[in-house]
Structure 1
Amino acid sequence: MLPVDLPDTVRDALLAPLVDHHCHGVRRDDLTRAEFELLINAGGSPAPPGTTHFDTPFGAALRRWCAPLLDLEPHAPPAVYLARRAELGAGEVNRRLLAGAGVVAFLVDTAPDETELLTAAEMGRHGGAAADELVRIERIERDVAETAQAAVDYLDSLGEELAARAARAVGLKTVIACLCGLDFDPSRPSRGSVIAAANRRLAEPKEPPSDPILLRHLLWSAIDVARERGLPVQFHTGFGGSGPGLHRTDPARLSTLVRALQPVGVPVILLHCYPFHRQAAYLASVCPHVYVDVGASAGVMDELLELAPFHKQLFSSGCRGVAETGYLGALSHRRALGAALGSRLAAGEWSAADAARVAHMIGSGNARRIYRL
């Protein structure tokens, strides 16, 4: 899976266990073909009539690289692959693929109400790894909104619940970019404006939060908790997810907020930065508290090694829905980083010791330090 001419020390560093600093649970149940295809498509929609999501880069990679872990020949036809998956059962498939990813710790964005997904602890057991929880603050807000009786109750309960959930977590995460974009006033809103927004929110508690005032209050409440507990905060940026703010998630728009957070001392981690990885790399290079998720594309990896400090880059698989996403995320990371390091070694720009050290930093060392693992 790696370039054949890499020095042994670099190859060993690339194959060392990874810390997957941002992933999601995978389905615990057996899936029909239609259900499986929905989960291997980032948009979560069926393929057009007469087509299949197996005819995608991900589908081709799945048949090439995941098939052997299920005792099939590489490039097994989709029907054969799915039949073998059903024969083994979801539990065995999850164990083989999650363990095959070579991950030493999963940091899992959990969803307590999604019982069909493996929990963080179950992800760890299936993968033979440690596992910790990442708390998505918008999920906490929804839970509080559904139970609060008045705006003041909402505000008090929100802070208490954030603190309680953070006590069991290694980091917080926000998807504010997907809910209202990143073109928002980064300052703390006034208490009066928050109470007014909370009253509007409690009229429709089951809807996703969308009021920028309320989202700013939620974000700053999370920042306060993160500062008290020494936790990093992940920001969803780039492509991915859904919502009205999807087209405005260039991390450069976070610049004002990021700079405001520097004196606070809370590490900021920019997730899913493509196609804005150059802007994210710039923020990571000039702001001491900003880190960037490297993704798994060879081109993106090469550019980030050009632009961002090596101690600011982190690996995540993007695992979601099915264990194949976790396995292929780890595989793609190793191959992309191997290619980027190999080209620098071949050009005489780096030594083998430098390349091995950087591979260890990005694969696990930086995450261990930032998340205090």
Structure 2
Amino acid sequence: MEEAVNAISAVDQHAHNIRKPEAQLPFEAAFSESYDEDVWNKQTPHTIFYRRSLRQLDKLFGCGSSPNAIKCYRNALSLEDLTRDLLKAANLCHLLLDDGLSPEDILPWTWHNQFVPTHRILRLEDLAQTLLPQCCSLTEFEKRFVQALDQTGSEVVGFKSIAAYRGGLHVEPSTSEAAVRDFSKFEGRLERSALYSRVLYLALEVASDRNLPVQFHTGFGDPDLRLEQSNPLHLVNLIERFACPFVILHAGYPYTQEAGFLSSVYPNVWVDFGLALPFLSTAGMNRCLSQLFELSPLNRLLYSSDASLIPELYYLGSLNSRAALSKVLVECVENQDLTEAEAIEAAKMILCANALSLYKLAV
């Protein structure tokens, strides 16, 4: 099973751009969701994810598994050569990038295109925050925002919302009067408000008209979210109101079974398991994927790495996801849930075919 799974060229359907050489953070930062340097220095080196990753990188690089050995090896290569080696080892056929994470510090999506066919996921909040200060009225903003969403280039294959970081995933519709009041008070950052609700609802209307997938951060992440407000169940009112495909990111972890449930009962819900895989322990990754398999239709599961900052995470996401997928599929065969042929077909769907279909990507 492992050999068959490793041979599949995958679609990494949610990741982020690599940082510019001059904007690099400490190596340990890539293995933490924290912004705190004390966490990077004192806690991250003691996580299972970090320690396992050093050994996995040594197997690829052949340089030794100490932090210094890994850092010396990667620093001896150009960023282009390092990225090329890691993306080749990741075995990807498409890469979808949300370029809204620290946009001033990252390389453009086109830079990544030299290694693997690359596409953009447009972050809705960033676009809205760019346009809002340029507009004199809510009416003008709404017109320009919808026009911008309608006229995205072919490189944009979907949208992304970070509602979980802006007050939570439960977003009710707003009145025009309340949105106008919030517009007059806007100071640069969209957070939970009638204006934010208006932005999200407009975007979901456009996505529904264009049949474009909308990715939503769910579950754990950076410390500026409230975990209980990122449970994917909070998306139900939007899922039921709008026809566009909803992509629940990060398996909703720790609300993984809830995410699987949503994909089993709504026709417009998909679940991705990036970030949870590879950030969790091996047992945690296997359990997370197994929980998705409990209810989720196999044609509604998507692979991603959620890589950011450094190219190693594209590879580590692929490596660990393939290992967990192989293990869970073997268990399905042993439990007679699937035949071996069905299990291999499921791997092809999850790693590649489901995303090709959802995002209308070339084979």
Give the gaps of 5 or more residues in structure 2.
278-284
Structure 1 match to 2:81: 92
Shift in CA distance, 96/14, structure 1 to aligned 2, threshold 3 Å: closer
Q: Which letter maps to 1:236?
A: H
Residue range with higher mean Cα deviation, 232-241 or 61-70: 61-70
Verify: 1:18 aligned to 2:5, yes or no: no
What SS does the corresponding residue of 1:275 show, helix, strand or coil?
A: coil
Structure 1, residues 71-120: CA drift from partner, whole Å, max 9, x if none?
414xx211111111111132222221122111110011013972432322
Instruction: Tell me how far apart the structure 1 counterparts of residues 110 and 34 of structure 2 sit (CA, whole Å).
Output: 27
Structure 2 match to 1:326: 314
Structure 2 match to 1:198: 183
Structure 1 residue 164, shift from structure 2 partner:
2.8
Considering only aligned residues, what root-mean-square deviation do their CA atoms show, in Å?
2.2
Q: 2:51 is matched with which residue: 41, 51, 60?
A: 60
Q: 1:172 is matched with which residue: 156, 159, 177?
A: 159
Where do 1:78-157 residues align within 5 Å? 78-111=67-100, 114-125=103-114, 128-157=115-144
Instruction: Tell me how far apart the structure 1 counterparts of residues 198 and 153 of structure 2 sit (CA, whole Å).
Output: 17
Contact 1:197 1:211 (C-alpha < 8 Å) held by counterparts: no
Structure 1 residue 244, shift from structure 2 partner:
4.7
Instruction: Tell me how far apart the structure 1 counterparts of residues 345 and 36 of structure 2 sit (CA, whole Å).
Output: 41
Structure 2 match to 1:237: 218
What SS does the corresponding residue of 2:215 show, helix, strand or coil?
A: strand
Q: TM-score w.r.t. structure 1 length?
A: 0.87
Instruction: Tell me how far apart the structure 2 counterparts of residues 49 and 336 of structure 1 sit (CA, whole Å).
Output: 26
Q: Which letter maps to 1:289?
A: N
Contact 1:236 1:271 (C-alpha < 8 Å) held by counterparts: yes
What SS does the corresponding residue of 2:93 show, helix, strand or coil?
A: strand
Structure 1 residue 191, shift from structure 2 partner:
2.6
Q: TM-score w.r.t. structure 2 length?
A: 0.90
Structure 1, residues 121-173: CA drift from partner, whole Å, max 9, x if none?
22232xx3211100010000110123223433323222222223365410001
Contact 2:182 2:194 (C-alpha < 8 Å) held by counterparts: yes
Contact 1:315 1:362 (C-alpha < 8 Å) held by counterparts: yes
Contact 1:166 1:225 (C-alpha < 8 Å) held by counterparts: no
Structure 2 match to 1:40: 31
Verify: 1:227 aligned to 2:212, yes or no: no
Residue range with higher mean Cα deviation, 363-372 or 343-352: 343-352
Q: 2:249 is matched with which residue: 265, 271, 280?
A: 271
Instruction: Tell me how far apart the structure 2 counterparts of residues 327 and 50 of structure 1 sit (CA, whole Å).
Output: 23
Instruction: Tell me how far apart the structure 1 counterparts of residues 238 and 15 of structure 2 sit (CA, whole Å).
Output: 25
Shift in CA distance, 113/335, structure 1 to aligned 2, threshold 3 Å: closer
Instruction: Tell me how far apart the structure 2 counterparts of residues 311 and 241 of structure 1 sit (CA, whole Å).
Output: 29
Q: Which letter maps to 1:149?
A: C
Contact 1:134 1:169 (C-alpha < 8 Å) held by counterparts: yes
What SS does the corresponding residue of 1:54 show, helix, strand or coil?
A: helix
Instruction: Tell me how far apart the structure 1 counterparts of residues 231 and 153 of structure 2 sit (CA, whole Å).
Output: 27
How many pairs does the alignment contain? Answer: 351
Instruction: Tell me how far apart the structure 2 counterparts of residues 324 and 167 of structure 1 sit (CA, whole Å).
Output: 28
Structure 1 match to 2:259: 280
Shift in CA distance, 99/30, structure 1 to aligned 2, threshold 3 Å: farther
Instruction: Indicate the percent of aligned positions where both proteins have the same amino acid.
Output: 26
Structure 1 residue 190, shift from structure 2 partner:
2.9
